[in-house]
């Protein structure tokens, strides 16, 4: 029984690792807002202690656009990264990856 469960669970987890998903939240009157999300499970095996180990992370953010005039469109995007390789008490070094408005 345990082998059957592992045979299903392991390929499912491998398929989910490194995948990205997006969803349109709002689209009306020339304004559009999307939500995007990515989970990446990484583990490096290296002789270098700084590179060796778990480097898993989650990224999520918003992107949007608005029609200002017939010939002018505004764009914006913001993304945040949460590193998953630290315990709750440690400095997790989460950060805003990028953000812009144009």
More confident residue, 13 or 48: 48
> Does the pLDDT value for residue 2 go beyond 80?
no
> Does the pLDDT value for residue 87 go beyond 60?
yes
User: What DSSP designation does 47 have?
Assistant: S
Reported as a single tens digit per residue, the pLDDT across 48-82 is 888 888 888 899 999 999 999 999 999 999 999 98
What is the rounded distance in angstroms from the CA atom of residue 93 to the CA atom of residue 50?
Answer: 15
- Please give the model's pTM, rounded to 2 decimal places: 0.68
CA-based nearest residue to 63, from 89, 32, 91, 93: 32
- pLDDT for the residue 17: 60
- Number of domains making up the chain: 1
* Domain region containing 9: 2-101
């Amino acid at each position: 029984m345990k082998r059957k469960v592992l045979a299903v669970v392991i390929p499912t987890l491998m398929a989910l690792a490194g995948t990205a998903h997006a969803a349109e939240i709002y689209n009306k009157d020339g304004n559009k807002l999307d939500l995007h999300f990515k989970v990446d499970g990484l583990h490096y095996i290296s002789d270098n202690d700084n590179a060796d180990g778990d480097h898993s992370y989650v990224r999520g953010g918003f992107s949007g656009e608005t029609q200002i005039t017939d010939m002018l469109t505004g764009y914006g995007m913001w993304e945040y990264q949460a590193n998953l390789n630290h315990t709750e008490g440690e400095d997790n070094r989460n950060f805003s990856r990028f953000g812009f408005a144009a």
